[in-house]
Structure 1
Amino acid sequence: MNIKNTTPDPSRQPLPRFRQALLEHNLEKEKDQATTSSSCPDPSAAETLPVPPVAPTVRSSQPNPKKQLSPEKNGKKPIIRKVFGLSSGTVHHSRLPIFAATRRPTEKMMWVWENPWGTAEVTGKLGQNHRDLHDLIMTEGLEYKQGLQRELYITIDPYEIWKKVGDTSSNLEYLYELLEDMRLAKVTIRYKDGGDSLGGIVSVIDRKYKAIPGPGGCVLERYLWQVTISPPWMKLYDTEIKVRCKPALALILRMRSGYSQAMARLFLTHKQNMTMKFFDVLNALGIEREARQVRRDVKPDLDLLAQIGITFGPGGTVGYEKKEGLVSFEDPRRRKSSTGAKS
């Protein structure tokens, strides 16, 4: 006889409605949390994930809008800014009598002179008035550019240069004549150390280089000039001691005699005090036969010579005492400036 258990199983008993609803609510909540956690990972966990390496960006050429294209790419002639600063010349420009010690030079087929510093051969007409203009162009130019062959392009205001020349009876045509003399002249320099330089001084004169407004409205426009200094002449600036004497140049331009000017330029190439015999000075300048004229013509300039440091002493001597602030030197072979080194 089989007896069935009629006691109901509690697990199979239907749950009360409120408990069933609570259970269903909890199940839905757990599903929502699981879904949220899978779609929004923990930020702290994301930080620990390894970051895949990024390949660097490679450009064929780095863009630089401020960088100017090189002259070669522009199809223009390569130009470099000047590097020698306000240097009127080198020691050999003044120690060798390239520019005659007169303000009224004459045309010469060839003039050769040798002194303790070397030999100069000059064909043409070059005097101290030419040297005045040369030094003004080298120190008062508006812009300086140097080409691949070392030629120097100088932009000048001819009116401003003319005012500093000091010859009120002249005009701009006078400046052009001096420049033309320097273009036609041929200069050969041989140094005692074996170096040499051959060629002219000026190679090109452009009198209509750039138009600018005229002064005071009376003239609509006038022109800046561009003067090109030849490569052989510029070679000296790369190999010889450069003389910066712009403050002294103002005194030299006021001198009336070419003898005085040549003498001042000679002594300003020395870096220390010195004394020379009067006839040795004349011989260095190529005027040893003109002693009487020199003594006569330098008298009006004695005060200006003294301001530079040049005095005439007893026994036929000429003394030089270097003045501070008038001249300084730069030796391109040493790549540094000096005002006190011995010459």
Structure 2
Amino acid sequence: MNNVLPLLPYEKGKITPYKQRMMPTTTASQARLQFFQPTRNPVYCTRKIETEWGRAEITGKLGVVHASCLESIMCFALDKRGLENGGVQILVDPYDIRRTLGEGARESRLLVPAKRHPNRTRRRISSGGYSSSAIRSLITDLTACAFSATIKTRDGDQWVCRPLGLVVGVETSEATRTNPGTGETRRMWRVTLGPAGVSLFGDDLALHYDPRPLAALRSGAAAAVARWCLTHRESPPAGWKLNTVLEAVGAETEGAVGRQRRLEVRREAEGLRACGLVVQNDRIYTEGVAPTPTSVVCTPTKTDDVACTPTSVACTPTSLGVPRNLQI
């Protein structure tokens, strides 16, 4: 394919304007129709989903890590072009994908000596265990999946995606980038979206946000909850019930497993706040809608004129009807 297709403007050294090459991070239906299982360890299965936003049938092994991988490809796209078959080819730096997925493993920062300058040290960020082969495995799962969705639009019409995978394939590009720390060069990737993926990203409600805070969430249920909440502009004044959102993303809410899922979401309160969400008790709010906790200060009233002092022996009880001015 490299010999047939011409080079992209970025590969020629001409960087496309940011607004023209910007791709949406994701779409609303991917979270609302549960395209990705609410776990970091998905299993291969066929799921039939039906919600108020439409219905879908997904076959494959897709979890929240696959969602973070796809979001990083779309968000950090360097360039794109359309294909004759209706697909789209995207140029992406594999380091951006590794950096995003590494957030989920809590990137460890190590000081190691630089190769060219032995007396200096540089800061290296580990990829959290996601090597190039591991990322290619995630993309293979995105390629092997099959989905068909019927999504409701605002005017009541529906459109149907063909039962094809989101990603068709990935190949190495001729474009390179230089690592400022080591001086080594790395080659970019060309990721091809199929016609089904193009129709999904082209006709659905597009969402633009940074995928790295979502990838940093350790709990798969919390990541699925965050993605579902971010499909809305803001939460209701009373917020969303935690159980309601867990049911909407396909997570278990009954028994010990349900209690564990709710506990996982509460433990990720700080991470969810970085995503723009606030967890209070059993409700979730978007920033700006969450009620601010107010402190209650007890002030004495006029009737509380009898107080106990350390030197007093007893306080005259007023609840027994004893007059306060009674002298014995």
- Give the TM-score band, short-chain normalised: 0.5 to 0.7
1:181 to 123, 134, 141: 141
Mapped contact 2:178–2:185 kept (Cα < 8 A): yes
Mapped contact 1:205–1:227 kept (Cα < 8 A): yes
Aligned partner of 1:240 in structure 2 is 204
Per-residue deviation at 1:76?
6.1
Mapped contact 1:78–1:148 kept (Cα < 8 A): no
Task: Give the secondary-structure state (helix, strand or coil) at the position aligned to 1:99.
Answer: coil
Between the aligned residues of both structures, percent identity stands at 26
Per-residue deviation at 1:200?
0.6
Mapped contact 2:169–2:193 kept (Cα < 8 A): yes
Aligned partner of 1:95 in structure 2 is 32
More helix by share: 1
Amino acid at match of 2:217: M
1:169 to 129, 132, 143: 129
Task: Report how many aligned residue pairs link the two structures.
Answer: 244
1:78-101 CA-partner distances (Å, limit 9, x unpaired): 999896724111111221100111
1:161-211 CA-partner distances (Å, limit 9, x unpaired): 2123214122111100000000000011112443221221110211x3226
Mapped contact 2:26–2:71 kept (Cα < 8 A): yes
The verdict on how the C-alpha distance between 1:122 and 1:84 changes in structure 2, with shifts beyond 3 A counting, is: farther
The verdict on how the C-alpha distance between 1:79 and 1:209 changes in structure 2, with shifts beyond 3 A counting, is: closer
Aligned partner of 2:285 in structure 1 is 319
Where does structure 2 lack aligned partners over 5 or more consecutive residues? 10-15, 106-127, 290-328
The correspondence of residues 1-343 of structure 1 with structure 2, limited to 5 A, is: 85-108=22-45, 110-166=46-102, 167=105, 168-192=128-152, 193-198=157-162, 199-206=164-171, 208-210=172-174, 212=176, 215=179, 222-246=186-210, 249-274=211-236, 275-289=239-253, 290-314=257-281, 316-321=282-287
The verdict on how the C-alpha distance between 1:148 and 1:267 changes in structure 2, with shifts beyond 3 A counting, is: same
The verdict on how the C-alpha distance between 1:187 and 1:78 changes in structure 2, with shifts beyond 3 A counting, is: farther
Per-residue deviation at 1:305?
1.2
1:295-333 CA-partner distances (Å, limit 9, x unpaired): 23224321121343433345x43333468xxxxxxxxxx
Q: d(CA) in 1 for partners of 2:80 and 2:246?
A: 35
The verdict on how the C-alpha distance between 1:116 and 1:140 changes in structure 2, with shifts beyond 3 A counting, is: same
1:199-229 CA-partner distances (Å, limit 9, x unpaired): 21110211x3226376479787542211101
Per-residue deviation at 1:267?
0.9
Mapped contact 1:115–1:283 kept (Cα < 8 A): no
Q: d(CA) in 2 for partners of 1:116 and 1:154?
A: 32
Q: d(CA) in 2 for partners of 1:213 and 1:318?
A: 42
Q: d(CA) in 1 for partners of 2:21 and 2:146?
A: 24
Per-residue deviation at 1:238?
2.5
Mapped contact 1:256–1:300 kept (Cα < 8 A): no
Superposed CA RMSD in Å reads 2.9
* TM-score of the two chains, using structure 1 as the length reference: 0.64
Mapped contact 2:26–2:206 kept (Cα < 8 A): yes
The more displaced of 143-152 and 276-285 is 143-152
Structure with higher Rg: it is 1
* TM-score of the two chains, using structure 2 as the length reference: 0.66
Q: d(CA) in 2 for partners of 1:308 and 1:322?
A: 13
Task: Give the secondary-structure state (helix, strand or coil) at the position aligned to 1:298.
Answer: helix
The verdict on how the C-alpha distance between 1:306 and 1:214 changes in structure 2, with shifts beyond 3 A counting, is: closer
Amino acid at match of 1:272: E
The verdict on how the C-alpha distance between 1:212 and 1:276 changes in structure 2, with shifts beyond 3 A counting, is: closer
